Structure 1
Amino acid sequence: MNLSTIDIRLLSADEWEVFRRVRLRALADTPQFFGSTLAEAQVRTEADWRAALSDRAQFVAGADGVELGTVGGMPDPERGGIHLISMWVAPEARGTGVADLLVRAVLDWAAAGGHTEVRLEFADGNVAAERLYLRHGFVRTGVSDLVRPGQPTLEYEMVHKL
């Protein structure tokens, strides 16, 4: 895959169907790595999807009209800075640099907004995700929690100082 053909774009609320499509695919592909479930996402209404897009910057990577990944950046009013969320890359685009482009989009967006740090969580066992975030300057904070209540998988917090 040629990275020069990859388009990273910020979704508007009117593109809620794109976000829904990519998010449902992500939750079906790797449910163990997300705090929400496919069943929960499938019952969300158009208004829910639009509201989600109004609360965050949601980027989508695509090429030739096919969505290859997504990531979000959301202000964190409790802790300050930006929370990187909903990161996912389609299986056919993994290992191609698409993930790097998506992470860079959130870091650049956060810096342009004057934020000084970006936080995220990644699920235990997701070695590729941790390597990706380490490559972009994130470090573990020592904080961990359950990915979802009632599930045994832990997630670990990382932070990147801008």
Structure 2
Amino acid sequence: MSTVSSTELRVIGADDWEDFRAVRLEALADAPDAFGATLAEASAQPPEVWRERAAGPGPVVLAFADHGPVAMGGLFVPDASDDAFVWGMWVRPTFRGDGVAARILERLLEHADRVGRPVVLHVSQGNDSARRLYERHGFVTTGEVQPLREGSPVLIDTMRRR
């Protein structure tokens, strides 16, 4: 059985904060150079912060397998911007390569289309598999490059959906 057929996507809410926290901390531990936050910073956040992040603004999508959440992605849709921002895309290594990330991204893009927002995201330089996923979904590099976070040698590229 492929992992695609054994995963269920769900848009979560505030009450799902513990599942969100679990998969987010796993993602930060697995891929520290893919996220603006660090594992230490995220681990120190109280439950109220996790509830707020799980509730939006914009959907947070988790992929669940029999044993819990195995992938995530979010769409930040702030009132103060014309753009929507994809963030936090990650899939547990044993579930990679079967389209789980594409399904999450498609769900987020459907939401952006419904609310009429152009979509922007950041991808770490050297993360070629993520870049290929984004390019297959219509994203192009804007030429804007910045550090992943203050003091990080990792650079991220901004990509915008055509």
Alignment partner of 1:51: what SS?
helix
Query: Superposed, which structure 2 residues align to 1:8-157 within 5 Å?
Result: 8-56=9-57, 57-115=59-117, 117-157=118-158
Q: Distance in 2 between matches of 1:98 and 1:49?
A: 23
Q: Are the structure 2 counterparts of residues 76 and 158 from structure 1 closer, same or farther at C-alpha, using a change threshold of 3 Å?
A: farther
C-alpha displacement of 1:61 = 0.8
Which letter maps to 1:103? L
C-alpha displacement of 1:77 = 4.3
- Length, aligned pairs only: 160
**Please, which runs of 5 or more residues in structure 1 have no aligned partner?**
none
Which letter maps to 1:106? L
**Please, which runs of 5 or more residues in structure 2 have no aligned partner?**
none
* Percent identity of equivalent pairs: 38
Q: Distance in 2 between matches of 1:142 and 1:157?
A: 7
Q: Distance in 2 between matches of 1:15 and 1:100?
A: 22
- For normalisation by structure 1, the TM-score amounts to 0.93
C-alpha displacement of 1:107 = 0.3
C-alpha displacement of 1:53 = 2.0
1:48-77 Cα distance to aligned partner (Å, 9 max, x none): 111112333110012224322000000144
- For normalisation by structure 2, the TM-score amounts to 0.93
* Cα contact 2:73–2:104 (8 A) shared by 1: yes
Which letter maps to 1:128? S
* Cα contact 2:17–2:50 (8 A) shared by 1: yes
1:67-99 Cα distance to aligned partner (Å, 9 max, x none): 220000001445412100011000001111101
